[in-house]
């Protein structure tokens, strides 16, 4: 009898696995996450990067829909994402705040922006990950969408591309702006 | 018109698959020969129809018909022809079509070459194979149709990812699919046998060559992908334990286990329900891989654009096929009689231990791959499981496995003589110990595990070699007789020798390249020199080179060692114009002891020099050579007549000198 039952074991394991899969299907490991979603931007204050006047703090999030983009000159994917951010700036779609994360050298970030262009209206320097920890960043690039009341509405992991811009970010921004 | 015809024949092929999966199965049940006779021609027609559909899509790519959405989003007129063609399977829809093509191709192969199968088994195998076809074809037609049009047609396409414009990656998916989908056939054999309620030595003998072929293709496909990552991603690494890599590795482990357990089923008429179980699991893991890549449940660098509808469909397919098979297994499995009785120290014992380790290894990789999903679903937060987990779990399991791999081929079926075997392997053991100690004392005192890796590699290689010499009785009989018996060795044994030696060589390569890699990153101006692992690299110049659809920054390094060694390395950084994307083309020069590996990076604005990364990757060529030997082993074994000749006698006691009658 026990032996007969053992032959049912694979079926049981498959059922458990399938249950997890069907539960996992509704979720997108890329966007749904962060404990911050639908909560206020955490308190933080970052100094400006070298050669810039203004830093970035939670007081800068008022009365406008903005993107917060975590970047670093060391991050290859940020380099890939960068032209798209430049295009957003050129078209004036939405202001973008930058958090320059974990630069080894104070000059690396400014040099990178000088070379490729600066899409950010405000930038905070974050060598010790204080801002990144406040936002619960898992890697770079990562982008948060914050609404007029300073509430985090969306988190996007990885580079923004035309496709995921059209699919998720753009509709979310339009919805917030039209409120 | 051609596109619409391609779409149309794809619909026909679905109907044909449906016909093939129902009518002949009813025929077997009613013992009606006319209905049964439909199976084979239906399988061939189904294959021809899908081939037509596949060619239609290929045509659209070759002529750059941008009115087809699939072509628009994955091709570009500026692409070389080879990559236009490989673009057909470089995207979700096209790759599923390739999947279906190969699936039906295996079915057609059974229809054409399965003459020695019993008629009912053949019909049932084709029936099950067609059921899989129905699932996959419906999936393509309802959720992933590659023949959809767009109006108005755009001027040009949006290009293929330039990372994928590479000969290694152009052939990686077809090979991998030949392996993945090849396991569909062993699955069909397993399910057909369960329906039939009979698994005997003949069944195992029919399954073995197909398992072997699938295993060979899978090995080749995985290695090609790994080789691509090695030279294209520019980090000198070749395996990242990414979910999608794991998705190809798990079926490989299961197929390796199946390969060995089916030997026991054939020769000893034993382990039958286990072999059936493995055949189901191996294909189940293939389907799981497909599900993981295309559903978006797990983040991976490889993932195709994720789409929940597709995910639901594949999940359903997975549950119905594998769940159905397991249900059948639960029902029929217990009645499969096992009569081979054996002593733990015997060849069966060794093979069972090997199966046990391979299965546990596959299970622990499955756990690590899916763990982030489990945690996420249970709302416990987000985690990622990386290389440290997989290495710390997988590597220790391979140690006993390789030890046993050295011993088991010496053991006889039923009851092996442990003392006699250990006597034969005494010298091998001592040599391996000396080798390991040498590495530990002379090369690197810091890593005992790596010394053990090298010792295991020596152990497996020499034990396999000694096994070969003892089979041909080298030095025991006159040399002439030994040479004569070397020719008479069955090809299947040669296959084992090659594959095991290949693994031994690969183990040395894997150990050395992951432990003793030398890496140097710096800014270099023209004329600057860097010394890496005894080689002196001089940056001669950096210039811009125009490629077919990219502009490359090419660095020229002159590499010297002593007076006699002088080579030039030309790594490139390519910027593709159609997409703002940059790829690195590492320059690699292989020597016997390792690869010289150079990458050129961005210009450093301050100093005017270039960022360069230079690696010495020890024994990496051994890894590729070992893998090639393994695939070669599978190929040689496949040419063995015994794999093709009909119902066998139970030749459990084949002596070493037995001549195979031609």
CA–CA distance, A34 with B473 (Å, rounded to integer) = 67
Contact B633, B494 (CB under 8 A): yes
CA–CA distance, A128 with B219 (Å, rounded to integer) = 45
Which residues of chain B carry a pLDDT beneath 50? Answer: 301, 303, 305, 646-662
Q: Which residues pair with B550 in a beta bridge?
A: B576
Let me know if domain A29-177 sits in CATH 3.30.1490.100.
no
Tell me, yes or no, whether B398 and B434 share the same domain.
no
Tell me, yes or no, whether B440 and B559 share the same domain.
no
User: What Å distances lie between residue B100 and A30, B148, B181, B366, B386, CA to CA?
Assistant: 30, 18, 9, 25, 33
Output the pLDDT for position B650: 40
Query: What residues contact residue B169 under an 8 Å CB cut-off, 6+ apart?
Result: B86, B163, B224, B225, B228, B232
Tell me, yes or no, whether B408 and B512 share the same domain.
yes
Smallest CA–CA distance, residue A164 to chain B, in Å, is: 10
Tell me, yes or no, whether B90 and B144 share the same domain.
yes
Q: Which residues pair with B598 in a beta bridge?
A: B587, B614
Nearest alpha carbon to residue B541 among B560, B523, B552, B554: B554
Contact B73, B150 (CB under 8 A): no
What is the C-alpha radius of gyration for chain A, rounded to an integer number of angstroms? 20
Q: Which CATH number fits the domain that encloses residue B78?
A: 1.20.120
Choose from B284, B297, B310, B581 for mutation: most chain A CBs within 10 A: B297
Instruction: Identify the helix (H) or strand (E) that includes residue B181.
Output: helix B167-196
pLDDT digit string (tens) for B358-370? Answer: 999 999 999 988 8
CA–CA distance, B460 with B466 (Å, rounded to integer) = 10
Tell me, yes or no, whether B305 and B205 share the same domain.
yes
Let me know if residue B174 belongs to a domain: no
pTM of this prediction? 0.80
Nearest to A18 among B281, B319, B329 (CB): B319
Instruction: Identify the helix (H) or strand (E) that includes residue B624.
Output: helix B620-638
Tell me whether A77 touches chain B (CB under 8 Å).
no
CA–CA distance, B66 with B78 (Å, rounded to integer) = 13
Tell me whether A161 touches chain B (CB under 8 Å).
no
Contact B338, B272 (CB under 8 A): yes
Strand, coil or helix: what is A40? strand
CA–CA distance, B594 with A35 (Å, rounded to integer) = 47
Contact B307, B296 (CB under 8 A): yes
Tell me, yes or no, whether B499 and B626 share the same domain.
yes
Tell me, yes or no, whether B238 and B288 share the same domain.
yes
Smallest CA–CA distance, residue B512 to chain A, in Å, is: 28
Smallest CA–CA distance, residue A64 to chain B, in Å, is: 30
CA–CA distance, B157 with B26 (Å, rounded to integer) = 48
Contacts of B284 in chain A (CB under 8 A): 14
User: What Å distances lie between residue B385 and B242, B299, B362, B365, B375, CA to CA?
Assistant: 9, 11, 15, 10, 11
CA–CA distance, A127 with B331 (Å, rounded to integer) = 62
Comparing B377 with A13, which gets the higher pLDDT? A13
Smallest CA–CA distance, residue B503 to chain A, in Å, is: 30
Nearest CA in chain A to B299: A29
Nearest alpha carbon to residue A129 among A119, A120, A139, A121: A139
Contact B283, B186 (CB under 8 A): yes
Percent helix, strand and coil across chain A, each rounded to 5? 40, 20, 40
Contact B375, B367 (CB under 8 A): no
Output the pLDDT for position B604: 74
How many of the other CB atoms lie within 10 Å of CB of B490?
18
Output the pLDDT for position A128: 78
Contacts of B606 in chain A (CB under 8 A): 111
CA–CA distance, B190 with B203 (Å, rounded to integer) = 9
Let me know if residue B189 belongs to a domain: no
Tell me, yes or no, whether B282 and B356 share the same domain.
yes
**Which is it for strands A96-101 and A122-126: parallel, antiparallel or unpaired?**
parallel
CA–CA distance, B397 with A141 (Å, rounded to integer) = 37
How many of the other CB atoms lie within 10 Å of CB of B53?
26
Nearest CA in chain A to B325: A11
Mean pLDDT across A15-29 = 76
Sheet with B587-591, edge to edge strand ranges: B518-524, B610-618, B594-603, B587-591
Smallest CA–CA distance, residue B308 to chain A, in Å, is: 6
Tell me, yes or no, whether B156 and B241 share the same domain.
no
CB–CB of B297 and A24 under 8 A?
yes
**Which is it for strands B565-569 and B572-576: parallel, antiparallel or unpaired?**
unpaired
Let me know if residue B188 belongs to a domain: no
Let me know if residue B170 belongs to a domain: no
Query: What residues contact residue A31 under an 8 Å CB cut-off, 6+ apart?
Result: A154, A155, A156, A157, A168
Nearest to B327 among A11, A17, A138 (CB): A11
CA–CA distance, B31 with B489 (Å, rounded to integer) = 43
Phi, psi (deg, nearest 5) at residue A46: -120, 140
Nearest alpha carbon to residue A152 among A137, A140, A167: A137
Tell me, yes or no, whether B265 and B372 share the same domain.
yes
User: What Å distances lie between residue B107 and B10, B35, B46, B183, B321, CA to CA?
Assistant: 16, 18, 9, 12, 17
CA–CA distance, B6 with B18 (Å, rounded to integer) = 19
CB–CB of A11 and B319 under 8 A?
no
Tell me, yes or no, whether B358 and B379 share the same domain.
yes
Choose from A1, A7, A135 for mutation: most chain B CBs within 10 A: A7
CA–CA distance, A25 with A178 (Å, rounded to integer) = 30
Instruction: Report ipTM (2 d.p.).
Output: 0.79
For chain B, the residues whose C-beta falls within 8 A of a C-beta of chain A are 273, 277, 280-281, 284, 291, 295-299, 305-306, 308, 311-312, 315, 318-319, 322-323, 326-327, 329-330, 333-334, 370, 372-374, 376-377, 382, 580-582, 605-606
Choose from B330, B336, B386 for mutation: most chain A CBs within 10 A: B330
Query: What residues contact residue B470 under an 8 Å CB cut-off, 6+ apart?
Result: B410, B424
Is the omega angle on the peptide bond into residue B276 within 30 degrees of 0, that is, cis? no
Q: Which residues pair with B537 in a beta bridge?
A: B530, B559
CA–CA distance, B109 with A32 (Å, rounded to integer) = 46
Q: How many domains does one find in chain B?
A: 4
Nearest CA in chain B to A157: B299
Strand, coil or helix: what is B614? strand
Output the pLDDT for position A174: 87
| Domain containing residue B159 | 1-165
Nearest alpha carbon to residue B161 among B83, B227, B234: B83
Nearest to A20 among B323, B377, B581 (CB): B377
Choose from B319, B367, B383, B584 for mutation: most chain A CBs within 10 A: B319
Tell me whether A83 touches chain B (CB under 8 Å).
yes
Output the pLDDT for position B261: 92
List, in sequence order, the alpha helices (H) in B378-525: 387-407, 418-438, 448-471, 479-488, 491-515
- Is the pLDDT at A32 greater than 60, yes or no? no
pLDDT digit string (tens) for A79-109? Answer: 878 888 998 888 888 999 999 988 878 888 8
Mean pLDDT across A146-169 = 84
Contacts of A28 in chain B (CB under 8 A): 296, 306
Contact B415, B346 (CB under 8 A): yes
Q: For chain A, how far is it from start to end, CA to CA, in angstroms?
A: 65
User: What Å distances lie between residue B28 and A23, B23, B78, B188, B199, CA to CA?
Assistant: 40, 9, 54, 16, 17
Tell me, yes or no, whether B589 and B532 share the same domain.
yes
Select from B165, B182, B211 the last residue of a domain. B165
CA–CA distance, B48 with B394 (Å, rounded to integer) = 43
Q: Which residues pair with A101 in a beta bridge?
A: A126
Is the omega angle on the peptide bond into residue B152 within 30 degrees of 0, that is, cis? yes
Strand, coil or helix: what is B574? strand
CA B511, B514, B515, B517 dihedral sign is positive
Let me know if residue B112 belongs to a domain: yes
Domain extents in chain A: 29-177
3-state secondary structure A155-173: EEECCCCHHHHHHHHHHHH
Output the pLDDT for position B644: 61
CA–CA distance, B175 with B4 (Å, rounded to integer) = 28
Output the pLDDT for position A31: 45
Nearest alpha carbon to residue B205 among B499, B646, B565, B638: B646
């Amino acid at each position: 009898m026990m032996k007969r039952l053992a032959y049912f074991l694979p079926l049981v394991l498959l059922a458990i696995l399938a249950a997890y899969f069907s539960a996992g299907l509704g979720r997108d490991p890329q966007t749904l996450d962060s404990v911050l979603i639908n909560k206020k931007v955490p308190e933080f204050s970052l100094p400006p990067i070298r050669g810039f006047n203004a830093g970035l703090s939670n007081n800068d999030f008022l009365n406008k829909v903005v993107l917060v983009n975590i970047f670093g000159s060391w991050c290859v994917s940020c380099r890939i994402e960068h032209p798209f951010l430049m295009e957003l700036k050129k078209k004036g779609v939405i202001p973008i705040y930058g958090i320059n994360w974990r630069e080894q050298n104070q000059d690396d970030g400014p040099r990178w922006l000088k070379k490729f262009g600066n899409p950010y209206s405000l930038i905070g320097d974050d060598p010790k990950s204080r801002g990144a920890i406040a936002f619960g960043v898992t890697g770079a690039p990562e982008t948060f969408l914050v609404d007029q009341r300073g509430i985090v509405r969306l988190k996007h992991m990885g580079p923004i591309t035309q496709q995921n811009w059209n699919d998720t970010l753009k509709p979310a921004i339009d919805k917030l702006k039209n409120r | 018109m051609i596109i619409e015809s391609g779409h149309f024949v794809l619909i026909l092929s679905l109907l044909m698959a449906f016909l093939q999966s129902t009518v002949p199965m009813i025929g077997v049940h009613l013992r009606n020969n006319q209905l049964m006779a439909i199976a084979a021609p239906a399988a061939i027609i189904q294959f021809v129809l899908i081939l037509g559909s596949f060619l239609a899509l290929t045509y659209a790519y070759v002529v750059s018909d941008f009115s087809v959405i699939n072509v628009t989003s994955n091709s570009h007129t500026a692409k070389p022809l080879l990559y236009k063609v490989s673009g057909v399977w470089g995207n979700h829809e096209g790759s599923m079509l390739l999947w279906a093509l190969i699936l039906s191709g295996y079915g057609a192969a059974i229809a054409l070459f399965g003459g020695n199968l019993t008629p009912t088994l053949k019909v049932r195998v084709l029936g099950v194979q067609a059921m899989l076809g129905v699932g996959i074809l419906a999936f393509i037609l309802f959720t992933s149709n590659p023949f959809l049009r767009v109006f108005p047609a755009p001027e040009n396409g949006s290009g293929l990812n330039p990372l994928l414009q590479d000969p290694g990656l152009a052939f990686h998916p077809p090979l991998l699919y030949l392996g993945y989908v090849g396991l569909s056939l062993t699955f069909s054999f397993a399910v057909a046998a369960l329906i039939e309620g009979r698994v005997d030595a003949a069944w195992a003998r029919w399954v073995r060559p197909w398992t072997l072929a699938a295993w060979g293709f899978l090995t080749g496909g995985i290695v090609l992908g790994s080789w691509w990552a090695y030279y294209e991603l520019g980090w000198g690494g070749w395996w990242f334990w990414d979910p999608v890599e794991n998705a190809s590795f798990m079926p490989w482990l299961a197929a390796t286990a199946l390969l060995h357990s089916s030997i026991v089923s054939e020769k000893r008429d034993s382990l039958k329900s286990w072999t059936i179980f493995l055949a189901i699991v191996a294909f189940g893991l293939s389907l799981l891989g497909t599900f993981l890549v295309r559903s978006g449940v797990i983040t991976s660098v490889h993932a195709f654009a994720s789409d929940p509808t597709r995910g639901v469909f594949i999940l359903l397919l997975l549950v119905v096929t594998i769940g159905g098979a397991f249900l059948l297994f639960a029902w029929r499995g217990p009645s499969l009689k096992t009569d081979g009785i054996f002593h733990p120290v015997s060849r069966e014992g060794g093979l069972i231990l090997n199966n046990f380790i391979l299965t546990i290894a596959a299970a622990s990789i499955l756990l690590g791959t899916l763990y982030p999903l489990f945690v996420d679903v249970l709302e416990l937060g987000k985690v990622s499981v990386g290389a440290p987990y997989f290495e710390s779990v997988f590597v220790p399991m391979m140690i006993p496995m390789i030890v046993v791999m050295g011993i088991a081929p010496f053991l006889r079926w039923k009851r092996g003589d442990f003392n006699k075997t250990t006597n034969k392997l005494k010298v091998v053991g001592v040599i391996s110990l000396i080798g390991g100690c040498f590495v530990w004392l002379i090369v690197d005192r810091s890593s005992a595990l790596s010394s053990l890796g090298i010792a295991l590699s020596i152990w497996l290689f020499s034990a396999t070699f000694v096994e070969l010499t003892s089979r041909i009785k080298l030095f025991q009989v006159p040399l002439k007789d030994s040479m004569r018996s070397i020719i008479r060795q069955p090809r299947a044994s040669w296959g084992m020798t090659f594959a095991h030696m290949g693994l031994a060589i690969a183990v040395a390569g894997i150990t050395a390249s992951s432990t003793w890699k030398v890496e140097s990153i710096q800014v270099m101006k023209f004329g600057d020199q860097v010394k890496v692992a005894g080689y002196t690299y001089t940056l001669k110049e950096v210039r811009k080179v125009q490629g077919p659809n990219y502009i490359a920054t090419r660095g020229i390094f002159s590499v010297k060692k002593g007076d006699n060694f002088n080579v030039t390395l030309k790594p490139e950084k390519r910027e593709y114009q159609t997409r703002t994307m940059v790829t690195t083309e590492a320059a690699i020069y292989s020597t016997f002891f390792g690869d010289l590996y150079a990458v050129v990076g961005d210009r450093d604005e301050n100093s005017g020099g270039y960022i360069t990364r230079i690696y010495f990757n020890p024994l990496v060529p051994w890894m590729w050579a070992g893998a090639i030997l393994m695939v070669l082993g599978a190929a040689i074994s496949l040419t063995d007549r015994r794999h093709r000749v009909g119902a066998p006698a139970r030749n459990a006691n084949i002596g070493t000198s037995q001549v195979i009658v031609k």
